[in-house]
Structure 1
């Protein structure tokens, strides 16, 4: 009975909140230059709703990982074992001569191979996500020189250019693929085009790549709250359906997830957990440690101008995760 009363109270508060947010959302669109008050009120309302959701659903806020306890585990790592693990993030890999839109999501093939060769020459082990999960949970130790390689979105150049390099050095990596970008038939590859991976290519590259979810069709920006653009995954009604369709349409049934644009909120995390996801990645820079919250793991973005060597030798300073609303 008590649970029912709490649930009913939550539903009432939710309806009130929705009405409140919609009102101010409409006002902020109609009066964009005179809506500072409505914007701040809208943001505060969303924050309140998220906090209420966490409280009623038993969700632990991000950053609640016991930093002191994690530090104790970290410092107890025996000689030769990893006290922390860098998770490197790549997107688009292309030879420099074809890199017609240089940005932080694109890396020249030459720089990519140089970084991978450095890892090989330095004796690094590339862990699977299952190994990383067990490491975070304190179930296993990993070699001191361990790194996790991840790619986002599912570009065809990952299998054309990155795959041979990784295979050459005996390395393992993960691709977080957007479900709608997974093609039924292999596309004609054009180095300057944003073609994406096919089912045949995915199957043929599983000796190097493991494939996980980056949403089925929510990797784009849209107006979600307070007249601001956010990753579409923050629309909770769409996100719940997207989780189901990702599994049924692509066959990628995985417990590992990468947040689109690194954006998330308590409802997304709750839905992921309720659907069997056990580990998720942000785009917040930093190292992964035993005892970290597995639903908010950091990654380091690798670019043509930021070397792998530099990223692997940054100070290991515990940072309080940023709570995204």
Structure 2
């Protein structure tokens, strides 16, 4: 009996051990399956439960301003986008070139008022601060490739009260001899010492230097010019102008115009402060009657010559009559060639309403020093 009982006890223990082993194996398999399932879930998410995204949303870019778009399109490291602020001024910016002179800034219109120019601040525009006024005699300088200019306006009564008469100075040749040159053209030769004193005076005493498009708008009554305005010109582009006078102009940063006979000269300007405009191509010669060819040619011949000159210079706008000779046919030839203005040798000042194809001038002769200049331009 004792032996049978111990045998039953041993079988019972084996069954318990087997059951425990089977249970342990089952638990192990379940656990292993869970690990595999977890591994699969981590690396290959099921379609039923998408994995959480780790990507960051791309922010919406800030739209470019009109000035920024203009600069981007230009793709020019020297470009400057100039924007305009004020009543009745252009909404869109325009491109200018840094370190060059401003080129053809807009001249807006507003009924009942006259445009008074562009200024670097709103306060300057409101005060019509001529010393700060910006135009084509100034060098473009931008911050971060952009610049903002503010427009000013005056009333027609203010224009009338100013009563501006613009002098166009006319020089010819230059000499280093204080006693002057000899010969019948002696009067044409300004002493370079006198010229330098005159240019220094103009540069240092706050004269406004209008561009030709500004003078045109002034004549039309669309633009206000201050009474202390002056335009400086040279006829012929003589070698003495290039060697003696142009360096003076350049050193003082004073805008001038050189009227070039393009048959004889076609090289570029000696300075960014020297605009080159036409003195005709091949009409600075006497015609059949002894007067200049400009009053001997037909309108068609004049237009053809002027177009040739414009092709060389890359500009029209204004010309100077050779010897000061002109007539109605000459004017018609200029119109056909697309020239708006012409300078004569007649003495006088440019006012609102002056004939644009017969602009007067102030002739500067040998012996005219600083005092004479001051008496003529203030």
TM-score class normalised by the smaller sequence: 0.5 to 0.7
Does the aligned pair in 2 maintain the 1:222–1:232 contact within 8 Å? yes
1:244 aligns with 2:307: yes
Deviations 1:188-216 (A, max 9, x none): xxxxxxxxxxx1xx2442x1111111110
Residue number among 273, 276, 283 corresponding to 1:208 in the alignment: 273
1:265 aligns with 2:327: yes
1:108 aligns with 2:171: no
Deviation of the 1:176 alpha carbon: 0.8
Tell me which of the two structures has the higher relative contact order, counting C-alpha pairs closer than 8 angstroms and 6 or more residues apart: 1
Does the aligned pair in 1 maintain the 2:303–2:336 contact within 8 Å? no
Tell me: CA distance 1:180–1:315, structure 2 relative to 1, closer, same or farther (3 Å): closer
Deviation of the 1:76 alpha carbon: 4.6
Structure 1's unaligned 5+ residue stretches are: 1-72, 184-198, 317-325
Within a 5 Å distance, the mapping from 1:276-295 to structure 2 comes to 276-295=338-357
Work out the CA distance in 1 between the residues paired with 2:376 and 2:199.
18
Residue number among 244, 261, 282 corresponding to 1:178 in the alignment: 261
Tell me: CA distance 1:315–1:124, structure 2 relative to 1, closer, same or farther (3 Å): closer
Residue number among 136, 145, 153 corresponding to 2:228 in the alignment: 145
Write 1 or 2 for the structure with the bigger share of helix. 1
Equivalent position of 1:77 in the other structure? 159
TM-score, normalised by the number of residues in structure 2: 0.53
Work out the CA distance in 1 between the residues paired with 2:209 and 2:317.
19
1:233 aligns with 2:290: no
Tell me: CA distance 1:293–1:244, structure 2 relative to 1, closer, same or farther (3 Å): same
Deviations 1:256-278 (A, max 9, x none): 11111111010110111122111
Work out the CA distance in 2 between the residues paired with 1:75 and 1:289.
15
* Max Rg structure: 2
> Aligned residue pairs: how many?
220
TM-align CA RMSD: 2.6
Does the aligned pair in 1 maintain the 2:324–2:346 contact within 8 Å? yes
Structure 2's unaligned 5+ residue stretches are: 1-154
Q: Any idea what SS the aligned residue of 1:174 has? A: strand
